[in-house]
Structure 1
Amino acid sequence: MSAYPPIGEQLDDLEDARTEGRRKMDWALQHMPILQELREQFRESKPLEGQTLGMAMHVEAKTANLVELLALGGAEVAITGCNPLSTHDDVSAALDANDHITSYAKRGVGDDDYYAAIESVVSHDPTITVDDGMDMVYAIHEDYPELIDTIVGGAEETTTGVHRLRAMDDDGELKYPVFAVNDTPMKRLFDNVHGTGESSLSTIAMTTNLSYAGKNVVVGGYGYCGKGVAKKAAGQNANVIVTEVEPRRALEAHMEGYDVMPMNEAAEVGDVFVTTTGNRDVITREDFAEMKDGALLANAGHFDIEIDLDALSDLAVDEYEARDGVRAYEMADGRRLNVLAEGRLVNLASPIALGHPVEVMDQSFGIQAVCVRELVEHGDEYDAGVHDVPDELDREVAEIKLDAEGVEIDSLTDAQAEYMDSWSHGT
C-alpha cells in the first residue's frame, strides 16, 4: 500500500497551523449542541472501543468535531479528504495532533496524491468506513477486497455517494452494509436544502462580490439540493429558472412558481448557473455557445463533471484568473464565461468557502455518529447492501436538537397511538 505521509509530516509552521485549526474547531463546536451531547455520551460509554474508522470527508472544522467525537468514543481514526480543494490544512493538522487520529488530508493535491492518501487510510485496516462520495468504499472493494471480511459496515454522507452505492448494490457488488445517511430526514431536509442553498449562494456572492437581485439564476436539477438553491435565490430577489430531466420534479418546480425549461434555452437568459444534480454534462458545449458575456457557472452537486470544462476550454481562445476562485474563459466572439472553484463544489472548494452552516452540519454529523455506534452495537443484524438509517436513530438526533433549542412538542396519547396503528377503525 501507499506510504503517503500524514499532514503533520508535510507542513511547515506545524504548531501555528494546529493552533489555528483548533481555534476553528472550538468556534464550530460552540454551535453544535448535538455533537456536544453525543461527546458526553461517547466519552462516558466508549461505544466504539476497539474499532478503527477509515474516513474520506471534507476535512474542515465541523467535520473535525465529528472525528474527535468518534475518537472520544474509543475508536482509532484515519481520515483523508474527499475533495482535493475542500481541506483546511490547519484543521487537518489539529486533528493529526490527536494521539487517536491520523489525518492525511491536504489541500490542493493532485489526483495521484489524492488516491495515495486514500490508500494510506485503508492501510490502517478499518473496521468501519465513513464516506462522502463513496471513494473509500470503492477503493476497498476494487483494490483491497481482503479487508471486507473484517469490516462491520459503513456510512455514506452525500447524494452522489448513495447513488453510486445503490448502483453497486443493484449489481450485487457491495459486500458490506452501508447506511444511506444522505437519505434520512434529519440529513436531507436540512443539510441538502438549507445547507446547500445557503452555503452555495453565499460563497458565490462573496467570491464574485455580485448581487442576485434581478438576475436570472438557473438551477440545474430540482432534488433537495436544487430546491434549496432555488428557494434561497428567490429569497434574494433573483428570477429562478429550473432545468430538470425528471417530469415530476419539473412539474413540482413549475407549481412552486419557477420557470422551467431545457438547459439550452436557459443558457440564453441565465446570469448565474448552479448545478445540483450529481450527474455529468449538465452544462455542455451547446449551452456555452448560447450564454451571455459575464455568465457565472458553479457546481453545487458533487464531482467536477457537471460542467463540461474540457469542452469549455476547447472553445476558449484565452483563459485567465479573473478573481481568486474565478477562472474566465474568453470565447472567440469576446464573451467571457466565468467558472467558480474549478467546477468543483463551490461551497467547499472556493478559496473563501466554509461549507454548510455549522448548525446544519451538527445534525448531519450527529446522524453519522449514531450510525457508527449502531454498526458497532448491532452490525451483525445488517446484511451487505445499502440500508436506511433506522427511524429511532433519526428521531434521537432530532430530539437532542429540539431539547437544545428549548422547543417542546406534543406526544401521542395511548388512544391516538392505538388508532394510528389500527386498520380496523373507520369513521
Structure 2
Amino acid sequence: MTTSTRGDVKDLSLAPRGKDRIEWAAKDMPVLRLIRERFAKEQPLKGVRMSGCLHITTETANLAITLKAGGADLVLCASNPLSTQDDVAAALVSEYGIPTYAIKGEDEKTYYSHINSVLDHNPQMTMDDGCDLVSTLHTTRTDLIPGIIGGMEETTTGVIRLHSMEKQGVLRFPVLAVNDSDTKHLFDNRYGTGQSTLDAIIRSTNVLLAGRTIVVFGYGWCGRGVASRAHGHGANVIVCEVDPTRALEAVMDGYRVMPGVEAAALGDIFITVTGDINVIDQAHMEKMKDGALIANSGHFNDEINIPALEKLATGKRRVRDFVDEYTYADGRHVHLLAEGRLVNLSAAEGHPASVMDMSFANQALGSEFMLNHAKELKPQVYTLPQDLDKEIARLKLHAMGIKFDTLTEEQEKYLNSWESGT
C-alpha cells in the first residue's frame, strides 16, 4: 500500500501499466476526447473543487483526465471495494497528478475512510456512482453541504436513493441523474451490463453458457441486456420480475417468466440486476441445485441475502478467484461470485470503453451544466437536457462514421402543425 498526500493506492510501481491501459481505453472513447479538447481550450471547470466516488477503471480515468483538462481540482475514491483497478489508481496519482484513494479489496473501514478523505477536499461539486458520497455528506459531513453547488449520479441504484432523499425532503442540493439520460441507460445499462456481466461470469468460472438455464432477476435496461446476451450465448433464459408491464415485455421478448422461488429449482446461473434488497433470499437458495452459480450485477451486494447463505452452509471455501463455494448439509454446493458484489467490475473490467464513452460524456457535460445552472435549480433530482443528450448521440455517430437523416423544412413544419388531417 502506498499512502501519500496525493492519495492511498496499492503500489505506485504499477503506474506504467495503468497508463498503457488508460491510453488503450482512450482509443475507443472519441466523444470524450472531443469534449476534452474543448474543455482544455475553454476551461469551464476552472478552479472548481470536485470529489468523485467512482469505479476506478481505465474508462473512469479518461473521465478524470477530461475533468482536469477542463480546470477541475479533482480528487477520487472508489465507489466499490472490489471494482478498483490498482494499476489505474497508481497511474492517476503518479502519471496524471489526480489524488486517488482506492485499493482493490479494501475493507469497509478503509472504504469509508477514503470517502472521508475525498470529502476533506471540501468539494463544491460531487460525482457519485451509487450515492455513497452524497449519503455520507447528508449524515456525517453535513458541515460541508453549504459549499456544495450540486452533484452528478451515474447509477440506477444511486438515483433510487436520491429520489428517496428528495421524497423525504432531506436532499439539500441539486443532483443530475446522469443514469436517466438516454445516451447512458439505453446503452451503458443494456449493452454494457449485458456484455460485461457475462464476461465476468465466464472469466471467473470458465463455464459454458450454451444449454444452461440462466435466471435473470429484474427486466429493466440492465436485465434486458443480460437476458439478450445470455440468449445469444445459447442459454435458456428465465426472467423474474415484480412489475407486470416489464414481465409482459419479457414474455413477448421470448423468455419464460415465473416467480423467483419457482425458478430457483430450475436455474444453473442466477443474476440479479434490480437495485433492491434480498432479491435472492433464503427461500430461493434452499431450492437451488448442486453446482448453482449466483452473481449480482447491481451496485450493492444487498441483492443477495449473503447472511442467509452463510447460515445455510456448513462449509465455505475459495475454489477460484472470485468464486466462493458454499456446502450445504445435504452435500449440495452453491457458488457465490465476487462476494456478491457487482460481478462485472469485481471479476472483470466492467463495461467496454466504447459504451462508457457516452456515459462519461454525460458526466463531463453534466458537470458543466450544473456549474452554469445550479443557481436556478432546487434541491431535487434532474436529468440532463435533451439537446445535450442528443448532441452526445450525434457525436458518437460522427465518430463511428455513420450518417443519418435530418428533417426537411416541410417535415419540420408538418410535425409542428395541427391543421393537416385525413
Indicate which of 33, 36, 55 corresponds to 1:36.
Answer: 33
- Secondary structure of residue in 2 paired with 1:203: helix
Q: Which residue of 2 aligns with 1:313?
A: 310
Q: Which residue of 1 aligns with 2:203?
A: 206
Q: Which residue of 2 aligns with 1:299?
A: 296
Q: Which residue of 2 aligns with 1:222?
A: 219
Q: Which residue of 2 aligns with 1:158?
A: 155
> Partners in 2 of 1:9 and 1:164 — Cα distance?
28
> Partners in 2 of 1:66 and 1:230 — Cα distance?
29
The CA RMSD over aligned residues, in Å, is 1.5
Could you report, residue by residue, the CA deviation over 1:285-334 in whole angstroms, capped at 9, with x for unpaired residues?
11111111000000011101111111111111110011111000000110
How do 1:215-294 and structure 2 match up within 5 A?
A: 215-294=212-291
> Partners in 2 of 1:113 and 1:59 — Cα distance?
15
CA contact (8 A) 2:3 2:9 kept: no
> Partners in 1 of 2:330 and 2:194 — Cα distance?
33
CA contact (8 A) 2:7 2:93 kept: no
> Partners in 1 of 2:154 and 2:43 — Cα distance?
23
**Matched letter for residue 397 of structure 1:** I
**Matched letter for residue 149 of structure 2:** V
**Matched letter for residue 162 of structure 1:** V
Structure 1: 4+ residue segments shifted above 4 A: 4-13
After TM superposition, give the deviation of residue 123 of structure 1 in Å: 0.7
TM-score, scaled to structure 2: 0.97
After TM superposition, give the deviation of residue 100 of structure 1 in Å: 5.2
> Partners in 1 of 2:23 and 2:119 — Cα distance?
29
Structure 2 unaligned segments of length 5 or more: list them.
none
Q: Which residue of 2 aligns with 1:337?
A: 334
CA contact (8 A) 1:7 1:106 kept: no
> Partners in 2 of 1:408 and 1:168 — Cα distance?
42
1:421 equivalent in alignment to 2:389: no
> Partners in 2 of 1:290 and 1:276 — Cα distance?
20
After TM superposition, give the deviation of residue 98 of structure 1 in Å: 5.5
CA contact (8 A) 1:6 1:96 kept: no
1:66 equivalent in alignment to 2:63: yes
How do 1:8-407 and structure 2 match up within 5 A?
A: 10=8, 14=12, 16-97=13-94, 101-350=98-347, 353-407=348-402
TM-score, scaled to structure 1: 0.96
After TM superposition, give the deviation of residue 5 of structure 1 in Å: 4.8
- Secondary structure of residue in 1 paired with 2:41: helix
**Matched letter for residue 37 of structure 2:** E
CA contact (8 A) 1:318 1:330 kept: yes
> Partners in 2 of 1:175 and 1:423 — Cα distance?
43
> Partners in 1 of 2:379 and 2:418 — Cα distance?
33
> Partners in 1 of 2:11 and 2:188 — Cα distance?
34
After TM superposition, give the deviation of residue 255 of structure 1 in Å: 1.2
> Partners in 2 of 1:9 and 1:103 — Cα distance?
5
> Partners in 2 of 1:148 and 1:421 — Cα distance?
44
Q: CA 1:33–1:9 in 2, change beyond 3 Å: closer, same or farther?
A: closer
> Partners in 2 of 1:368 and 1:421 — Cα distance?
32
**Matched letter for residue 148 of structure 1:** I
> Partners in 2 of 1:44 and 1:72 — Cα distance?
9
Q: CA 1:160–1:36 in 2, change beyond 3 Å: closer, same or farther?
A: same
- Secondary structure of residue in 2 paired with 1:50: coil
> Partners in 1 of 2:350 and 2:5 — Cα distance?
21
After TM superposition, give the deviation of residue 365 of structure 1 in Å: 0.4
